[in-house]
């Protein structure tokens, strides 16, 4: 006996845990050499019981007579309760299951569980649980000794806690031994059989399966999002519209992206219920912030278009949460009709938001705009961007989104790659190089959640009964009946249009040359000269003048004459009644008259052409330009017919014959009034013009066309202001009176009726097919290019008509599409080479269960997805093709974390966490031809090595921003330690050492501080320094965490604040959080 336990009783008679003495040593000896051991213990001892059964399985395998029988009775645990007995033993059994499914056990026990199950099935092991009365006894009966006391059959009870036990040996105290054995037998008799239920529980905890089932379980963990329900709160009111499964999964997938990348872009198809889903997503994130005890508890701020502000606020009221909403318009026009003090409050709220959400985020991609500047200086933990159309004008839109999501959320390699692109952002267009296209695709995929209408409809097919609108009707995206219509131009009109096009080539664009800007520095750095720059400026003005003429002509004659002579002139000419606009617009001739002879301000050092540098020649050039405009106006007014407008009117009437409610879109307000004038001649139905600029007018249209409306025979002529913020799904037909030039506009126009809760199974969409003379090649070809670009990068939601193309232009060098083959050629020419369509972050996972080459059948996936049985962890060992072991793990999140996938080729290599790369690795393994691996001992050795490798690189499971936060924290604390040593501040040095220990690798089975919460704690701690740096003006690049190192060194964080780190919770060991594992062995 140790000198330190001299005053303690003999621990063989009174087993205890102290200094060198352990209860386990005594009890193991008694049980392991007994033919008929009996264990009565609390159910929290199950993992130790598995170890005990595994040992006896080995003995039994070598010698079937090694023992006669093993009996185990699981009693209750001393958790707070006033119960004296159970209402039923079933209730107690459920308590055991709930405890262990929540607790989990290490995957390293996988073969031990198999051994325990086989031993139970052999009939040599009997298991019971308390039946009616609560049993709290702890008794360990061997053939020659019995121990009774407080020690549970667990590591704590047998090794670490101070326990009080008494032991009676048959040889020395036979009477006491017999009495104790009798007590054990009587308690055993109070139990009821639990063997089959215990086998079921063990299989739920760790289940050996085929690799297909393990992979299916891993996919379900990510795609179904059951883990995310812990973020949700209970609904108390019956008026809360239930989330559709697609919305529940969308929330889970968005949280997964946030947890693994740092911010999220939600680019689901228009009409998928974004506002409803988004409000609950923000609520879930705020719940997480509050429940994890974050140091900073800020507010969520939502920036949205004015038209949907009320809809968002209504959703948040319904889901019982609050947030601050700020309208786009207020940020774009800080000096509008809103007072300055209110605007300042909104800007301050945006800058301080903890969760910052931006609806219709495609409106925030121009770094120079007021509204974009307003949101760049935020310190939000999470940025959520919502847009169904992330590509609006070109691929550079995607770079703007990356900036909004935060540079620290992306890896260093990508940021270095994008530096020259950001510097050259003005020159980036659809003709991107294959390398750039692939880089952008890979970057975007990491933070994008995008379910197309096809995907969402497939999700509906899986659980149709759960997709109901507010009237209880089945929801589903309608099928598109997309058609083109010829615009009815006469041969004469086409000839006149060509004359007008020819006249536009004479224009200089003087209206667009009132100021000559200076050469931007980034262009100068790239070797551009002022001569190059002015040449480009002159070309731009000329093209813009010609473009405006042709875009107006394609819309209507009224629009072109308004552009040339002004709104009032066009109104009188076409006999349009009522107010078309609040103010007169257009009137290019008057604008040219006003600037004639007034030279543009030249910010270049070189001389301009004489018609821009000499006043008299400038006046002469303006007069010549005026004459060109008058010639164009004369051709339009006096020689061209109204055949195009009449044809469009007939198309609208045809639609009204087959649809109760019809919507027509055009970008020009005067064209809408003109088409109304034509429609009224038919005296069919009610024609309403909806500009969207008046709230009452918008609400009126919304009431007429909203879901459930009983209105009929109405035509809504809508401007593009009505293309977002209103749901008009009771209508079943949309006609585009002019072809939109940007993807956003096209998708949003159709999205007014193409919605998941549409009451129609089919909707009709008409697209204009202009004759070549009217076609806008510069616009239409860009629309096609953008449609293909979106298909390539993000997958488009717009089915175009098969015959969609203008007629061939024999007099132009511009590309004109005339057939499907030409469309393919244009796509190839634009992209240089064919590339696969863009996918969102979860598509690599979906590809494993569906599509052309699934690894797991959809049937197997659905079997796992719909199974009522709960399984904590499953594993599969397979034969590897080569002499290289590999491992795939699906790891459950921490209490508030999302699950992760991890792949390792070798125990010494960094783990792969990218879903796309993991998917490709699994495909390379040729799993279909792999046999089960049966060498138990070798398998466990490799499994342990792989788990240690994951623990060694556990920081890599965090998003980039949190990884950087941990790195910066470690760097700063090291600096603090050096300073403390130098200043002989022992307390500060000890504190720094304790914090540094938090970063160190832990052993298998050992708890550690939650690294995700540690990173969040550090970010909260340094946020005041971050906020001060964000106030700096004229920052040319995004602010990074590493940029505030000197601030933190020069102004150290106090010892008091640093001590708060030790309040952070610890997490379950990683080996107890494995949901599914596939290990390849050789």
Q: What would the mean pLDDT of 755-774 be, rounded to a whole number?
A: 92
Confidence grade of residue 476 (pLDDT, cut at 50, 70, 90)? very high
Give the whole-angstrom CA distance, residue 876 versus residue 899.
19
pLDDT number for residue 292? 73
Identify the residue with better confidence: 389 or 812. Answer: 389
Give 889's strand partners: 902, 1077
Angle between helices 557-565 and 530-555 (to 10 degrees): 130
Note whether 873 and 1071 are within 8 A (CB).
no
CATH 3.40.50.10810 fits 244-466, yes or no: yes
Q: What would the mean pLDDT of 792-801 be, rounded to a whole number?
A: 47
Would the pLDDT of 1023 be above 80? Answer: yes
pLDDT number for residue 821? 39
Question: Both tokens of residue 596?
Answer: 């004639």
Least confidently predicted of 81-85, 100-104, 182-186, 551-555: 81-85
Would the pLDDT of 100 be above 50? Answer: yes
Q: What would the mean pLDDT of 518-545 be, rounded to a whole number?
A: 84
pLDDT number for residue 426? 43
pLDDT number for residue 995? 95
pLDDT number for residue 810? 29
Query: Does this chain's domain 3-206 share its CATH topology with 482-490+642-769?
Result: no
Would the pLDDT of 831 be above 50? Answer: no
Would the pLDDT of 231 be above 70? Answer: no
Give the whole-angstrom CA distance, residue 814 versus residue 959.
46
* Domain ranges (residues) in the chain: 3-206, 244-466, 482-490+642-769, 508-639, 872-1082
Angle, vertex CA 912, rays to CA 267 and CA 925, nearest 5 = 105
pLDDT number for residue 786? 44
* Mean pLDDT for the chain overall: 83
pLDDT number for residue 73? 97
How would you classify the pairing of strands 479-486 and 1008-1009? unpaired
pLDDT number for residue 521? 73
Identify the residue with better confidence: 442 or 506. Answer: 506
Cβ count near 769 (within 10 Å):
18
pLDDT number for residue 788? 44
Q: Which residues contact 79 (CB under 8 A, 6 or more apart)?
A: none
Q: Which residues contact 712 (CB under 8 A, 6 or more apart)?
A: 660, 661
Q: Residue 122 burial (CB < 10 Å; 0-12/13-18/19+)? A: exposed
Write the pLDDT tens digit of every residue in 400-411.
Answer: 777 788 777 777
Residue with tokens 């009174």: 14
SS3 (DSSP) at 255: helix
Kindly state the percentage of the chain with pLDDT values over 70: 84
Write the pLDDT tens digit of every residue in 1033-1050.
Answer: 555 566 778 888 999 999
Would the pLDDT of 440 be above 70? Answer: no
Most distant CA atoms of the chain, gap in Å: 128
Least confidently predicted of 117-126, 286-295, 494-503: 286-295
pLDDT number for residue 792? 44
What is the architecture of the domain spanning 3-206?
2-Layer Sandwich (3.30)
pLDDT number for residue 195? 95
Confidence grade of residue 855 (pLDDT, cut at 50, 70, 90)? very high
Q: Which residues contact 150 (CB under 8 A, 6 or more apart)?
A: 138, 157, 163, 164, 165
Would the pLDDT of 755 be above 80? Answer: yes
Note whether 324 and 302 are within 8 A (CB).
yes
Picking from 993, 998, 980, the residue whose alpha carbon sits closest to that of residue 1052 is: 980
Note whether 955 and 966 are within 8 A (CB).
yes
Residue with tokens 């409106």: 363
Angle, vertex CA 795, rays to CA 792 and CA 798, nearest 5 = 115
Kindly state the percentage of the chain with pLDDT values over 90: 45
SS3 (DSSP) at 272: coil
Give 147's strand partners: 140, 167
Question: What secondary structure does DSSP assign to 315-384, as a single string?
Answer: HHHHTT---EEEEHHHHH-TTSSS-HHHHHHHHHHHHH-SEEEEETGGGG--TTSHHHHHHHT---SEEE
Which CATH fold topology does 482-490+642-769 show? Answer: Rossmann fold (3.40.50)
Would the pLDDT of 784 be above 50? Answer: no
Question: CA dist 647 to 129, 302, 356, 766, 807, Å?
Answer: 83, 44, 47, 13, 18
How would you classify the pairing of strands 355-359 and 382-386? parallel
Note whether 724 and 487 are within 8 A (CB).
no
Q: What would the mean pLDDT of 613-640 be, rounded to a whole number?
A: 95
Identify the residue with better confidence: 312 or 364. Answer: 312
Would the pLDDT of 817 be above 70? Answer: no
> According to the 3-state scheme, what is the secondary structure of 290-317?
HHCCCCCCCCEEEEECHHHHHHHHHHHH
Question: What secondary structure does DSSP assign to 536-576, as a single string?
Answer: HHHHHHHHHHHHHHHHHHHH-HHHHHHHHH-HHHHHHHTT-
Would the pLDDT of 64 be above 70? Answer: yes
Q: Which residues contact 266 (CB under 8 A, 6 or more apart)?
A: 250, 254, 274, 277, 278, 281, 384, 385, 386, 387, 449, 450
Question: Both tokens of residue 743?
Answer: 């993807």
Identify the residue with better confidence: 725 or 279. Answer: 279
Beta strand segments in 682-820, E: 686-690, 714-718, 733-736, 762-769
């Amino acid at each position: 006996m140790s000198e330190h336990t001299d005053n303690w009783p003999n621990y063989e008679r009174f087993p205890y845990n102290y200094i060198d003495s352990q209860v386990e040593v005594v009890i193991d000896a008694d049980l392991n050499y007994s033919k008929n051991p009996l264990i009565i213990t609390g159910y929290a001892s199950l993992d130790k019981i598995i170890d005990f059964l595994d040992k006896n399985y080995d003995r039994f395998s070598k010698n079937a007579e090694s023992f006669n029988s093993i009996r185990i009775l699981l009693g209750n645990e001393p958790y707070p309760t006033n119960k004296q007995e159970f209402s039923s033993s079933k209730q107690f059994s459920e308590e055991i299951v709930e405890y262990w499914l929540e607790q989990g056990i290490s995957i390293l026990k996988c073969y031990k569980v198999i051994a325990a199950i086989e031993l139970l099935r052999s009939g040599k092991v009997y298991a019971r649980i308390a039946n009616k009365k609560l049993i709290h006894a702890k008794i360990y009966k061997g053939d020659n000794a019995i121990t009774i006391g407080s020690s549970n059959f667990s590591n704590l009870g047998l090794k670490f806690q101070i326990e009080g036990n008494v032991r009676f040996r048959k040889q020395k105290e036979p009477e006491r031994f017999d009495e104790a054995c009798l007590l054990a037998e009587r308690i055993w008799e109070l139990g009821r059989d639990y063997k089959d239920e215990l086998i079921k529980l063990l299989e739920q905890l760790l289940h050996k399966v085929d690799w297909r089932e393990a992979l299916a379980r891993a996919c379900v963990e990510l795609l179904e999002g059951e883990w995310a329900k812990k973020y949700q709160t209970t609904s108390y009111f019956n008026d809360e519209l239930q989330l559709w499964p697609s919305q529940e999964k969308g929330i889970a997938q968005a949280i997964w992206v946030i947890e693994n990348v740092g911010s999220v872009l939600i680019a689901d198809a228009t009409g998928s219920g974004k506002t409803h889903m988004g409000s609950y997503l923000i609520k879930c994130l705020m719940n997480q912030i509050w429940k994890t005890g974050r140091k900073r508890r800020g507010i969520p701020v939502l920036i949205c278009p004015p038209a949907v502000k009320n809809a968002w606020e209504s959703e948040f009221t319904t889901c019982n949460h609050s947030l601050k909403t700020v309208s786009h318009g207020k940020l774009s026009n800080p000096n509008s009709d809103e007072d300055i003090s209110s605007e300042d409050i909104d800007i301050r709220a945006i800058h301080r938001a903890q969760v910052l959400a931006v609806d219709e985020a495609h409106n925030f991609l121009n770094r120079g705009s007021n509204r974009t500047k307003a949101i760049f200086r935020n310190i939000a933990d999470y940025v959520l961007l919502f847009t169904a159309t992330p590509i609006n004008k070109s691929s550079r839109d995607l770079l703007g989104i990356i900036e909004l999501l935060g540079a620290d959320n992306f890896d260093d390699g990508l940021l270095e790659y994008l530096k020259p692109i950001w510097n050259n952002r003005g020159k980036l267009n659809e003709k991107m190089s294959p390398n750039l296209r692939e880089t952008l695709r890979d970057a975007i995929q990491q933070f994008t959640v995008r379910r197309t209408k096809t995907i969402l409809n497939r999700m509906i097919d899986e659980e149709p009964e759960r997709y109901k609108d507010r009237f209880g009707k089945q929801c589903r995206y309608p099928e598109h009946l997309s058609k083109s219509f010829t615009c009815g131009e006469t041969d004469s009109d086409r000839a006149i249009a060509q004359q007008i096009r020819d006249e536009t080539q004479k224009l200089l664009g003087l209206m667009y040359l009132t100021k000559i800007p200076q050469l931007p520095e980034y262009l100068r750095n790239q070797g551009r000269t002022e001569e190059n720059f002015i040449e480009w400026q002159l070309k731009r003005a000329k093209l813009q003048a010609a473009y405006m003429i042709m875009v107006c002509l394609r819309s209507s004659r009224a629009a072109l004459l308004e552009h040339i002579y002004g709104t009032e002139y066009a109104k009188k000419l076409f006999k349009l009644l009522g107010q078309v606009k609040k103010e007169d617009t257009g009137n290019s001739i008057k604008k040219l008259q006003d600037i004639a002879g007034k030279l543009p301000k030249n910010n270049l050092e070189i001389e301009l052409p004489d018609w821009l540098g000499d006043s008299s020649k400038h006046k002469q050039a303006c007069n010549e330009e005026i004459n060109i405009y008058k010639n164009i106006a004369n051709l339009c007014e006096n020689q061209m017919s109204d055949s195009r407008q009449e044809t469009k009117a007939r198309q609208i009437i045809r639609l009204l014959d087959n649809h109760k409610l019809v919507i027509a879109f055009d970008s020009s307000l005067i064209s809408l009034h003109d088409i109304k004038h034509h429609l009224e001649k038919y005296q069919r139905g009610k024609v309403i013009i909806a500009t969207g600029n008046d709230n009452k007018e918008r609400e009126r249209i919304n009431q007429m066309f909203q879901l459930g409306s009983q209105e009929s025979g109405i035509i809504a002529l809508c401007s593009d202001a009505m293309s977002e913020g209103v749901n008009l799904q009771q209508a079943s037909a949309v006609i585009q009176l002019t072809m939109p030039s940007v993807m956003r506009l096209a998708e949003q126009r159709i999205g007014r009726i193409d919605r998941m809760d549409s009451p129609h199974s089919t909707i009709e969409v008409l697209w204009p097919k202009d004759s070549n003379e009217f076609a806008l090649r510069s616009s239409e070809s860009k629309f096609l290019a953008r449609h293909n670009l979106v298909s390539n990068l993000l997958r488009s939601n717009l089915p175009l008509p098969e015959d969609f193309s203008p007629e061939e232009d024999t007099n132009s060098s511009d590309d004109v599409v005339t057939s499907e083959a030409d469309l393919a050629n244009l796509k190839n020419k634009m992209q240089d080479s064919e590339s696969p369509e863009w996918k969102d972050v979860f598509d690599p996972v979906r590809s494993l269960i569906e599509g052309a080459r699934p690894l797991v059948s959809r049937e197997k996936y659905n079997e796992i997805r719909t199974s009522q049985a709960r399984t904590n962890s499953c594993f599969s060992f397979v034969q590897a093709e080569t002499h290289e072991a590999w491992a795939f793990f699906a790891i459950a999140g921490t209490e508030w974390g999302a699950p992760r996938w991890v792949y390792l080729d070798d125990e010494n290599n960094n783990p792969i966490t990218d879903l796309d790369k993991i998917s490709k690795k699994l495909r390379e393994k040729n799993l279909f031809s792999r046999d089960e691996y049966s060498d138990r001992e070798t398998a466990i050795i490799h499994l342990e090595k792989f788990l240690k490798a994951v623990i060694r690189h556990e920081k890599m499971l965090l998003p980039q921003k949190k990884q950087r936060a941990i790195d910066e924290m470690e760097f700063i604390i090291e600096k603090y330690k050096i300073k403390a040593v130098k200043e002989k501040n022992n307390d500060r040095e000890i504190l720094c050492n304790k914090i540094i220990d938090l970063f160190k690798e832990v052993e298998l089975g050992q708890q550690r501080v939650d690294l995700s919460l540690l990173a969040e704690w550090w970010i909260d701690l340094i946020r005041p320094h971050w906020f001060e740096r964000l106030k700096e003006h004229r920052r040319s690049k995004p602010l990074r965490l590493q940029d505030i190192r000197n601030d933190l060194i020069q102004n150290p964080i106090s010892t008091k604040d640093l001590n708060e780190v030790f309040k952070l919770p610890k997490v379950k060991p990683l080996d107890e959080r494995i949901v599914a594992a596939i290990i390849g062995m050789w």
